[in-house]
Amino acid sequence: MNTKKEQSIIDIMSSFNEMADVVLAQLNLIEKLMTINDKTGLQELNNSIKKNEIEIDKYEVSISDKFINTIVLYQPVASDIRKLVAVYRMTINLERIGDLVMNITYAIETLRDSQEYKTMSELILNMLLTGKIMVEKSLLSFVNSDAEYAIWTIKNDSVIDEMNHKLLINSISKAKMSEKTKEMLLSYAELKNIITNIERIADHATNIAEATIYSLKGTDIRHSGFDKDDQKNKADTDNN
């Protein structure tokens, strides 16, 4: 029979998994939002995204309270504390990913009909899909106790950064400054907003993966990175 401490930890993990599912659903919805043109469908997607954002915020508050109560009331052992701290850190990052999805949603609403968005939407979608895969793998790394997925996610953070740079260069090269310069610049500002928010989603996926490494190995690599053995042993994971 589970003790109160064990049940409390199980409850936190259950809430975390539910929150993760909602965040992944948000990333799927934003993907659909970028490709759909039907006005009724757009409104339904917007409503679903806004509803899910409220749920994500509730989960973040709830998990935070449960985390504090479990630490204070039940004084878990070191291994459990590492796991709980990892979950707490991941929860914060998942909530921020939810905020970034909302930022992207609002930017798309503003930008959808512009020529600049139509020109760059396919490239931005590919960037979003890469960020979504990073979030998925970072979460799987924790759920499945798989350090390789976590390391893959951390290493691929630079891929999103490179996409960001290339998108901006591509946008500038295609710009016709003589045609409605002010409107174009405003549109590019919104494009930069979308791109930056997707990049930040990838950053938070990396944070989640780093929390997984902490949970599994008890090593905090947020500022120190991998040691040489990790780099050598996991070199092939970039192609997975």
pLDDT tens digits, one per residue of 49-90: 999 999 999 999 999 999 999 999 888 888 899 899 999 989
Q: What are the phi and psi torsion angles at 234 (to 5°)? A: -110, 15
Tally of structural domains, the chain: 1
What is the band of 9 on the pLDDT scale with cuts at 50, 70, 90? very high
Q: What is the pLDDT of residue 228?
A: 43
CATH number of the domain encompassing residue 35: 1.20.58.220
Domain containing 95: what range? 4-239
Q: Where are the beta strands (DSSP E) in the chain?
A: none
Enumerate long-range contacts of 125-130, CB under 8 Å, 24 or more apart. 125/31, 125/34, 125/35, 126/163, 127/160, 127/163, 127/164, 127/167, 127/195, 127/198, 128/27, 128/30, 128/31, 128/34, 128/104, 128/198, 128/201, 129/31, 130/156, 130/159, 130/160, 130/163, 130/202
* Higher-pLDDT residue of 199, 171: 199
- Packing angle of the helix pair 147-155, 115-143 (nearest 10 deg): 150
Between the CA of residue 30 and those of 9, 52, 89, 179, 235, what are the distances in Å?
Answer: 32, 12, 24, 30, 32
pTM (2 decimals)? 0.74
- State what percent of residues in the chain have pLDDT above 90: 32
